[in-house]
Amino acid sequence: MSRRRQVRHALTIAAVLAFAGSPAAAGEAPFDQVTKDLSKVISVADGSSPFYELYTDKEKGKLLAAFPRGYDQQTVMIACTVSGGDPQAGVMGPTHYAKWHKIGDQLALVAPNLSVRTNQDKQAQDSVGDLYTGRVLLSLPILSHTPDKRPVVDLGSLATRHAPALFGSSVFAGYGPSLYNINPSLARITSAKAFPENVIFEYTAPRPDGQIVSITYNISNLKGSSDFKPRKADARVGYFYDWHQDFGVTGNNEVTDRYISRWNIQKADPSLKLSPPKEPLVWYIEHTTPVRFRRYVREGIEMWNDAFREIGIDGALEVRQQDANTGAFMDIDPEDARFNFFRWNASSYGYAIGPSRTNPYTGEILDADVVWHQGLTRAITSMLGTFVDEMTEQSFDPETLAFFAEHPNWDPRVRLAPPEQRELVQRNLALEAQKVSEHELGDREHPWSCMSSNHMNAACTIGNMLSVDLSIADAALAAGMMGDENTELLDGIPENYMGEMIRYISAHEVGHCLGLQHNMAASTYRSLEEMNSEDIEGATTASVMDYIAANINHELGEVQGPFATPEVGPYDRWAIAFGYGPESEIEEVLKQSQEPGHLFIPQSEITFGSDPRNVTWDNGADNMNFARSRLSLVQKLRGELLTEIVDDGESWSEARRRFNAFLGTHLQSVSIAATYVGGSYITNARKGDPDAPAPITDISADRQREAMNFVIDNTFEDAAFGITPELIRHLGKEYWWDPQGINELLADPSATVHDLVGGLQATGMTFLMNPTRLRRVYDNEFRADPNDKFTLAELVTTVTNRAWSECSPTNGSSRDDIEISSFRRNLQREHTDRLIQLMLLDGTSSPSLRTIATLASAELGRIDSMCDRALERNPDSYTTAHLSDIRTRISKAMDAAYVIER
């Protein structure tokens, strides 16, 4: 070792000891003394040696572990889970990959830097080792040694005193509830098991707020399967992956290696065309799953066997039902990383999630669980606010969300919040934006330095939008549109609808557990008319990995087709062939990327891209067709809300809740249509792929005009939302001081109709006029066919013409009959303020935004002229005041813009 490395090594040890904060023991106690009055944990009957020898005193909450020989050569996986005391308990928590290092009289748990490593020559390995060092998670004093010289530590201290470090510091941070601290002095051990390859132990302890929680740790030897071969990722197929950078590579070669996440599922007999697996992937349905749903959960899991049969593996997935009544499989813990569970939580949360843990060196999946929260299956009818949050985050990219932070009046989350909550919502969004700005990338100079997986960027919490679908189905049932008195119901919803949706979502989450990312373009595989025809067969979607709206036939076909796909689709089968088929066939499989049903667009494209096929909770080959159908269904249901849907004896608060749910679907339809404006079709195809289009394909001008007019028709006009005096008079509320009723309790009982409609109109305007949308339209002009061009000027001018149609000389009105409704006055004021803000963007360095600003200025001048002429037509008092105010605002804004430009 060179002198330089010796000094660095000494300094590293000193730093670790300083971090550890635990003084080295002056002298250790004999093994017999430290284990006195403790019971040795024996969990297997065959006498095999456990991974760690555990010794417990449950009364005192003590847990000691004797490490095996060679412990310092083992990489361990520590899986942390909040297993009780929280509505989201059981959802997979943080995962740590680390080694124990003996430093003096302590054992330090050191997590290696997994994002940078090399298999090149020794010089490259030495350099990488010097530069990209590990990170100390915690340290434990060595209490004693066994007679055969193995170290003994206090594992209970790891579980309790170091819980904040283990639940809060992993780059594999998990998806479960947060745990910032517990009270170690009140912690008690409730379970400890020791197996040959892992140990599992659980403690209960109060959090700082006094709430008692259960926390479970699974520590296992990270070995993986000896015959597993890593498989490189390909952007044409959507798999999660583990990655690292190999800085030992020289020249122009790619330095990032990406290995897809997949199980080691192989044929038992490769010579057979159809063979059982060497080892099936076994799933346990937790005993807490309601009996009435178990059948559909099982069917959803087993749907994937069809895809594996196509690559010659029969029975790849096996399902076992845990049952408390019979005792079947009740000896298996869901937190035990050796077993894969489909868990059911009786909580109010409305989502399901299916994460997994992998070997970060190879991509092999080692553990997976699905957690279904029962709130997902409830027809939640009062959730407009929740929907708006999700819609905003999925409809707008980071550039637009940043613009919202500076201009909150553009933000649907603010504009659609109840008036009494709007200031609080705005304040919380500002705090959240600041938090993201400060912490989103962590180390700003090297933001990806500690990450080695894309799993955390693809969290699946399918649910909130399903609640919209459930409420629509429930309303359609009440209106007699989804069955009759003989229809079998499951929790108040037609069983075929509810069962098919549970089966589809179960398959979706298990797909994640097989390694598959979302594919939000899969729903465009088949037309709605085809789905609802007499001869429909097979999958209705290319993949279950999309968030797909239920197929509720409204003026779309001759019969009601499947509500959800009955089987995995062609993309699913193709993706399984890529991930689990023979290595020798991968290149041929990838050549099929442009075949029908194989379209894949990554989920990140929703956040950063503009492909209108890549949206959530749509259905069918033509998203505009779906939006029209769904909106037509909402309009019909809205018309029957007071007469057919709210039953005799029900509270009129039901009308308010359902009306809000209808508004959610209304905005969903509008948001889907808006994606066509300024959008483009994208593909991951490579040069030379058969039948591959260019990476970017333009959307026709006519389709963009159609989408623009759809948004305007259904947000700008007075009748767009079906709001009538009679309806408003019946939007009642109830007064309950509990979590379920508090939001309704705080709402204005008289219904703030102008605030509501103003927020909806503002949202429609945000869809069309946000700077990102306008910039994309402007940029797309450069690529567009000169004879088929949708321009920025056309968009801006059309919005003005439609917003100010009462003042337009071409609207056919006489010169003395102008009267602008209260809703439309709000719209026009909103439009004017938006143009003013866009005009003031002129100081930016962006050429696109400067062009947008000049067009906005021109439109304001045109509006001023229209108002001037309209004031000569004897308008009513409200309209006179409104038009005069608009002219004043424009004049002062023009002066301000001139000063800014000077």
Tell me the per-residue pLDDT of 30-49, one tens digit each, with 9 for 90 and over.
999 999 999 999 988 777 89
Look at residues 437, 440, 451, 372 and name the one whose alpha carbon lies nearest to residue 402.
Answer: 437
Q: Which of 192, 221, 250 is the last residue of a domain?
A: 221
Structure-block tokens of residue 298:
């099982």
| Residue 506 CA: distances (Å) to CA of 92, 298, 369, 510 | 17, 8, 11, 6
pLDDT of residue 21: 42
Q: For residues 888 and 894, what is the distance between their CA atoms, to the nearest angstrom?
A: 10
Residue 880 lies in a domain: yes
Q: What is the mean pLDDT of residues 811-830?
A: 83
Indicate the pLDDT class of residue 788, thresholds 50, 70 and 90.
confident
Is a pLDDT exceeding 60 seen at residue 581? yes
pLDDT at 89 over 60: yes
Rounded Cα–Cα distance for residues 649 and 11 (Å)? 77
Residue 893 lies in a domain: yes
Give the model's confidence band at 464: pLDDT under 50 very low, under 70 low, under 90 confident, else very high.
low
In a domain, 62, yes or no: yes
At residue 19, the pLDDT reads 46
Q: How many domains does the chain have?
A: 2
Q: Give dist(CA 792, CA 297) in Å, integer.
A: 49
User: In the structure, what pLDDT confidence band is assigned to residue 351 with cuts at 50, 70 and 90?
Assistant: confident
Averaged pLDDT for residues 315-338: 95
Q: Check if the beta carbon of residue 669 is closer than 8 Å to that of residue 627.
A: yes
Residue 891 counted as domain residue? yes
pLDDT class of 421 with cuts at 50, 70, 90: confident
- Three-state secondary-structure class, residue 55: strand
Would residue 211 count as lying in a domain?
Answer: yes
Share of the chain above pLDDT 70, in %: 90
Contact 332, 468 (CB under 8 A): no
Binned at pLDDT 50, 70 and 90, residue 457 comes out as very low
pLDDT beyond 70 at 759 = yes
Model pLDDT, residue 450: 42
Last residue of a domain, one of 221, 256, 286: 221
> For 797-807, what is the mean pLDDT?
97
* pLDDT per position as a tens digit, 99-153: 999 999 999 999 999 999 888 888 888 888 889 999 999 999 999 999 999 999 9
Q: What is the pLDDT of residue 602?
A: 87
Torsion-angle region of 354 (φ positive above 0: left; ψ -120 to 50: alpha; else: beta): beta
Residue with the bigger pLDDT between 19 and 129: it is: 129
d(CA 187, CA 193): 18
Bridge pairing between strands 365-373 and 188-194 = unpaired
Q: Which two three-digit tokens encode residue 44? A: 């297997």
pLDDT of 433 reads: 73
The region of weakest confidence among 58-67, 231-240, 252-261 is 252-261
Residue 208 CA to residue 384 CA, distance in Å, equals 33
Given pLDDT bands bounded at 50, 70 and 90, which one contains residue 499?
A: very high
Q: Does residue 556 register a pLDDT over 90? A: no
Tell me which H or E stretch contains 430.
helix 422-439
Q: Is residue 675 part of a domain?
A: no
In this model, does residue 170 exceed pLDDT 70? Answer: no
Q: Residue 440 has what pLDDT?
A: 43
Verdict on whether the full-model pTM lies above 0.85:
yes
Please check whether residue 358 is in contact with residue 233, taking contact to mean a CB–CB distance below 8 angstroms.
no
Q: What is the pLDDT of residue 436?
A: 53
Q: Say if 847 falls within a structural domain.
A: yes
Domain interval for residue 844: 804-902
What residues form DSSP beta bridges with 258?
243
The structure tokens listed for 584 are 């020798």
Any idea which of 399-408, 443-452, 842-851 has the lowest mean pLDDT?
A: 443-452
Q: Using alpha carbons, select from 410, 36, 63, 346 the residue that is nearest to residue 204.
A: 63
Other beta carbons less than 10 A from residue 683's beta carbon: 19
Q: Is the pLDDT of residue 769 over 50?
A: yes
To the nearest 10 degrees (0 to 180), the angle between helices 792-803 and 847-870 is: 30
What is the per-residue pLDDT for 11? 44
Plot region of 210 (φ>0 → left; ψ -120 to 50 → alpha; else → beta):
left
Most confident of 598-612, 747-761, 874-888: 874-888
pLDDT above 80 (res 372): yes
pLDDT greater than 80 at residue 252: no
Report the first-to-last Cα separation within the chain, whole angstroms: 66
Q: Could you read off the pLDDT of 664-708 as tens digits, one per residue?
A: 899 999 999 999 999 999 998 899 999 889 999 999 999 999 999
Domain boundary among 221, 237, 254: 221
pLDDT by residue (tens digit) across 394-409?
Answer: 788 888 999 999 999 9
**CB neighbours of residue 820 within 10 Å:** 22
CA distance 708 to 674: 7
- Average pLDDT in the 330-337 region? 91
Helix (H) or strand (E) holding 96: strand 95-103
Q: Is residue 96 part of a domain?
A: yes
For 856-892, how does the pLDDT look when each residue is reduced to its tens digit (9 = 90+)?
999 999 999 999 999 999 999 999 999 999 999 999 9
* Most confidently predicted of 400-409, 419-428, 778-787, 820-829: 820-829
Region 803-815 average pLDDT: 74
The whole-number average pLDDT for the span 699-724 is 97
> Using CA atoms, how far apart are residues 50 and 52, in angstroms rounded to an integer?
5
- pLDDT at position 867, please? 97
What average pLDDT does the chain have?
89
pLDDT at 195 over 80: yes
Q: In which band, very low, low, confident or very high, does the pLDDT at 380 lie, cut at 50, 70 and 90?
A: very low
Taken in order 894, 896, 901, 902, the sign of the CA dihedral is positive
Q: Do the Cβ atoms of 771 and 400 come closer than 8 Å?
A: yes
Cα–Cα distance, 153 to 219 (Å, whole number): 14
